[in-house]
């Protein structure tokens, strides 16, 4: 050895004397594996092995393997992850194939997915009852196993290939197996174990994430999608239908008599009925259909690429299946069914759901034919007939959020288009239905318009107005609050006094009623003075125009008194309805300033008989 070599060796010794030696590949892998498996793999690992073997006898670049493995994260798709892991193996080892099998508890089998080095994929199932199968043995014993014959895979392309089968262990739980085909499988088992550890942890995490997402989107009672998820999925499906120019239908089902069942038999019995209906829907809907619990006793189904007629067929099948069940103390299961379709009935999600609910309420009103549910689609009924509008009123009354001005504008446009010229003998019938729909937006003023119409007609008759004028006043009173169709429900249904900003909004309803509802309709224009000015005051402090005594139409003065009296004697969220005596005293206090004094005196004389 020359002098230069001696100096070099001496310097090297001095430099490294105070530095810890870098961990070797075998030590690193062994350390990682021991964290998960303890000493399980020791009998199979050659303690003399200092490096990993490849087909060509070259030393494996383990640092490159670890770098490649780190670049796989984050993971979004399990099978893509498995393929990339195998890709790392192929870059360094001439492996014949790699396979991953995950255990499925429901079918008690391992679903095996195999990929060869040519990029081909094969799938098979291994049932745990096949105890002689090495895959089952590895899964059960949670110990690795080597084999020279892979005929147990039942794949003709792979025979007499040395393999190692490893359990996928995560948090002391075996979730499946992983197989590597390699002529040097015994020498490389440490590396394969480390890869199996990574695959097990990623697979387990993805399973937990999927389970977590499932519960976030799942109704715990029915195991169907919940309302929030249903809304998101419907938006997605409508967008997809719009892009592909396809139909889409929504079926809405209401389970009949659930409230009575809960009251008479207890909520456990009601839950039993809901779960039964949900289970049958889940079993009988087609692949690709989306079922959800829409409300307490309401279920909904999204049917992509489905027309109204096809949706009716699905609904008929479901209702027939449900009619075959008989529950103790309840009897046969009955549902009301409504259907709406995109784009035939509506292009907007909110309108689609409103029309489906409306159809469902019409189904409930029509009951059953021959023991079967009445299946109603929004394309089947006249929107403005009495049953349809009352059903629409129920939908509005049930919803607590504002439907949106666009829908209400469309409703008014439809009303005016359909009733531009209405025979006088039908106007009252139509106005009654429309007033019912408006009243339903506020459950505390239900039937308010009908009562105000009755009180107004009584007062008009008491001052000897002509019968034709009495009819006009009654009709105007019936529609006096029609402008509330444009007022947000958060204002209409507020419990307690309105704020200044909310009063500004509320005071718009006489103008909305006159200009947006009545003005476009020639049959109703003569009612504008009643609707627009029924909140004016004798002293000029009313709204919307601040008219004083002589400028306020007589009919509007009459309706103002009737409106106030019914409001005072009706229950409100923040108070009970007043007695007749108390309401009359308030009218007397405001006579001459807020209301016409002569009309108040006449109204007080007839007030005790108005309830008869």
DSSP of 422-490:
--HHHHHHHHHHHHHHHHTTSGGGTTHHHHHHHHHHHHHHHTT--HHHHHHHHHHHHTTTGGGGGS-HH
CA distances from 252 to 99, 290, 354, 560 (A): 45, 12, 10, 41
In a domain, 9, yes or no: no
- Higher pLDDT: 440 or 550? It is 550
Q: H-helix or E-strand containing 381?
A: none
548-556 CB contacts, 8 Å cutoff, 24+ apart: 549/596, 553/529, 555/460, 555/469, 555/472, 555/473, 555/476, 555/529, 555/530, 556/529, 556/530, 556/532
Token match 């392309």: residue? Answer: 157
pLDDT digits over 206-262, tens only? Answer: 877 776 666 678 888 998 999 989 999 999 999 999 999 999 999 999 988 888 888
In a domain, 6, yes or no: no
The answer for residues whose C-beta is within 8 angstroms of residue 138's C-beta and 6 or more apart is: 144, 145, 165, 166, 167, 177
**Where would I find the beta strands (DSSP E) of 306-405?**
326-327, 331-332, 335-342, 368-369, 372-373, 375-377
Q: Parallel, antiparallel, or unpaired for β 375-377 and 372-373?
A: unpaired
User: Residue 600: which pLDDT band, with cuts at 50, 70 and 90?
Assistant: very high
Angle made by CA atoms 81, 86, 92, in degrees to the nearest 5: 135
Considering the domain architecture, whether residues 182 and 230 belong to the same structural domain is answered as no
Considering the domain architecture, whether residues 99 and 150 belong to the same structural domain is answered as yes
CATH of the domain at 309: 3.30.70.270
Which of 178, 195, 215 lies at the terminal end of a domain, its last residue? 215
Give the mean model confidence (pLDDT) for residues 131-160: 87
- Higher pLDDT: 457 or 5? It is 457
CA distance 157 to 113: 15
CA distances from 333 to 261, 274, 326, 365, 427 (A): 12, 10, 7, 17, 40
The least confident of 396-410, 438-452, 498-512 is: 396-410
CA distance 473 to 263: 44
Which of 324, 347, 381 lies at the terminal end of a domain, its last residue? 381
The least confident of 20-34, 289-303, 379-393 is: 20-34
Considering the domain architecture, whether residues 344 and 409 belong to the same structural domain is answered as no
Considering the domain architecture, whether residues 142 and 264 belong to the same structural domain is answered as no
DSSP class of 121 = E
Q: Does the global pTM surpass 0.85?
A: no
pLDDT surpasses 90 at 556: yes
The number of CA neighbours under 13 Å toward the Cβ of 105 is 3
Considering the domain architecture, whether residues 209 and 259 belong to the same structural domain is answered as no
The least confident of 49-63, 209-223, 501-515 is: 49-63
CA distances from 377 to 344, 411, 413 (A): 11, 18, 22
CATH of the domain at 183: 3.30.450.40
In a domain, 19, yes or no: no
Question: By the 8 A CB rule, do 30 and 197 touch?
Answer: no
- Higher pLDDT: 68 or 501? It is 501
CA distance 15 to 10: 9
**Where would I find the beta strands (DSSP E) of 34-136?**
97-104, 109-116, 121-127
CA distance 413 to 410: 5
Considering the domain architecture, whether residues 554 and 587 belong to the same structural domain is answered as yes
The least confident of 323-332, 365-374, 472-481 is: 365-374
CA distance 495 to 431: 28
Domain of 556, in residue numbers: 399-612
Q: Is 48 exposed, middle or buried (0-12, 13-18, 19+ CB in 10 A)?
A: exposed
In a domain, 417, yes or no: yes
What pLDDT does 610 receive?
84
CATH of the domain at 513: 1.10.3210.10
In a domain, 419, yes or no: yes
Considering the domain architecture, whether residues 169 and 259 belong to the same structural domain is answered as no
What pLDDT does 1 receive?
44
CA distance 183 to 483: 83
Give the mean model confidence (pLDDT) for residues 541-563: 95
Question: By the 8 A CB rule, do 205 and 186 touch?
Answer: no
CA distances from 583 to 134, 329, 444, 461, 592 (A): 89, 48, 18, 21, 16
Closest by Cα among 561, 381, 350, 572 to 459: 561
In a domain, 368, yes or no: yes
Considering the domain architecture, whether residues 480 and 409 belong to the same structural domain is answered as yes
What pLDDT does 231 receive?
92
Number of structural domains (the chain) is: 3
Considering the domain architecture, whether residues 459 and 371 belong to the same structural domain is answered as no
Pick from 156-165, 412-421, 455-464, 506-515 the range whose average pLDDT is largest.
Answer: 455-464
CA distance 488 to 403: 8
Which of 166, 193, 215 lies at the terminal end of a domain, its last residue? 215
- Higher pLDDT: 96 or 560? It is 560
CA distance 10 to 3: 11
Considering the domain architecture, whether residues 122 and 268 belong to the same structural domain is answered as no
Q: What is the pLDDT of the chain when averaged over all its residues? A: 80
SS3 339: strand
Considering the domain architecture, whether residues 405 and 372 belong to the same structural domain is answered as no
pLDDT surpasses 90 at 141: yes
What pLDDT does 289 receive?
93
Q: For residue 115, which phi and psi values (nearest 5 degrees)? A: -130, 130
CA distance 376 to 356: 9
Give the mean model confidence (pLDDT) for residues 563-567: 93
**Helix, strand, coil shares, percent, the chain, to 5:** 55, 15, 35
CA distance 552 to 45: 102
Question: By the 8 A CB rule, do 227 and 294 touch?
Answer: yes
Angle made by CA atoms 362, 368, 369, in degrees to the nearest 5: 120
Question: By the 8 A CB rule, do 583 and 568 touch?
Answer: yes
In a domain, 259, yes or no: yes
In a domain, 457, yes or no: yes
Considering the domain architecture, whether residues 245 and 128 belong to the same structural domain is answered as no
Token match 């009949």: residue? Answer: 256
């Amino acid at each position: 050895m020359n002098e230069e070599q001696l100096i070099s060796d001496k310097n090297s010794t001095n430099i490294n004397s105070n530095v810890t030696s870098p961990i070797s590949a075998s030590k690193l892998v062994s350390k990682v594996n021991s964290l998960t498996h303890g000493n399980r793999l020791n009998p199979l690992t050659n303690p003399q092995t200092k490096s990993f073997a490849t087909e060509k006898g070259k030393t494996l670049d383990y640092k490159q393997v670890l770098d490649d493995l780190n670049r796989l994260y984050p993971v979004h798709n399990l099978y893509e992850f498995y393929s990339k892991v195998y890709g790392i193996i192929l870059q360094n080892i001439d492996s014949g194939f790699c396979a991953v099998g995950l255990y499925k508890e429901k079918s008690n089998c391992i679903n095996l997915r195999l990929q060869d080095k040519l990029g081909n994929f094969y799938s098979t199932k291994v049932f745990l009852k096949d105890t002689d199968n090495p895959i089952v043995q590895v899964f059960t014993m949670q110990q690795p196993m080597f084999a020279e014959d892979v005929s147990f895979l039942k794949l003709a392309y792979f025979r007499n290939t040395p393999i190692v089968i490893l359990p996928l262990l995560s948090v002391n739980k075996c979730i499946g197996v992983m197989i590597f085909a390699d002529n040097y499988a015994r020498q490389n088992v440490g590396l394969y174990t480390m890869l199996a550890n990574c695959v097990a942890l990623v697979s387990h995490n993805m399973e937990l994430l999927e389970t977590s997402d499932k519960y976030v989107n799942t109704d715990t009672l029915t195991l169907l999608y919940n309302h929030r998820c249903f809304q998101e999925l419907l938006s997605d499906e409508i967008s997809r239908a719009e892009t592909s120019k396809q139909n889409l239908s929504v079926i809405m089902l209401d389970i009949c008599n659930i409230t009575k069942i809960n009251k008479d038999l207890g909520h456990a019995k009601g839950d039993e009925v809901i779960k039964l209906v949900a289970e049958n829907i889940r079993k009988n809907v087609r692949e690709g259909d989306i079922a959800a619990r829409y409300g307490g006793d309401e279920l909904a189904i999204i049917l992509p690429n489905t027309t109204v007629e096809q949706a009716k067929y699905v609904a008929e099948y479901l209702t027939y299946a449900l009619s075959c069940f008989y529950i103790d103390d309840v009897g046969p299961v009955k549902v009301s069914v409504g259907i709406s379709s995109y784009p035939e009935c509506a292009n907007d999600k909110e309108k689609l759901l409103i029309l489906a609910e409306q159809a469902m309420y019409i189904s409930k009103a029509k009951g059953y034919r021959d023991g079967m549910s009445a299946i109603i689609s929004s394309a089947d009924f006249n929107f403005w007939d009495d049953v349809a509008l009352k059903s629409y009123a129920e939908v509005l009354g049930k919803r607590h959020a504002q439907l949106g001005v666009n829908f209400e504008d469309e409703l008014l446009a439809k009303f005016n288009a359909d009733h531009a010229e209405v025979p006088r003998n039908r106007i009252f019938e139509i106005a009654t239905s429309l007033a019912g729909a408006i009243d339903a937006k506020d459950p505390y003023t239900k039937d308010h318009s009908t009562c105000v119409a009755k009180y107004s007609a009584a007062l008009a008759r008491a001052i000897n107005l002509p019968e034709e004028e009495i009819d006009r006043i009654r009709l105007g009173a019936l529609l006096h609050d029609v402008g509330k169709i444009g007022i947000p429900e958060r204002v209409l249904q507020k419990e307690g006094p309105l704020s200044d900003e909310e009063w500004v909004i509320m005071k718009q309803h006489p103008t909305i009623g006159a200009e947006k509802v009545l003005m476009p309709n020639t049959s109703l224009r003569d009612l504008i003075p009643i609707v627009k000015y029924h909140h004016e005051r004798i002293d000029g402090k009313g709204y919307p125009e601040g008219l004083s005594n002589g400028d306020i139409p007589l009919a509007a003065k009459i309706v103002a008194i009737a409106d106030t009296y019914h409001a005072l004697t009706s229950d409100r969220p923040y108070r009970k309805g007043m007695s007749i005596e108390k309401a009359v005293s308030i009218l007397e206090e405001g006579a001459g300033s807020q209301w016409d004094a002569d009309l108040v005196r006449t109204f007080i004389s007839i007030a005790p008989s108005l309830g008869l």
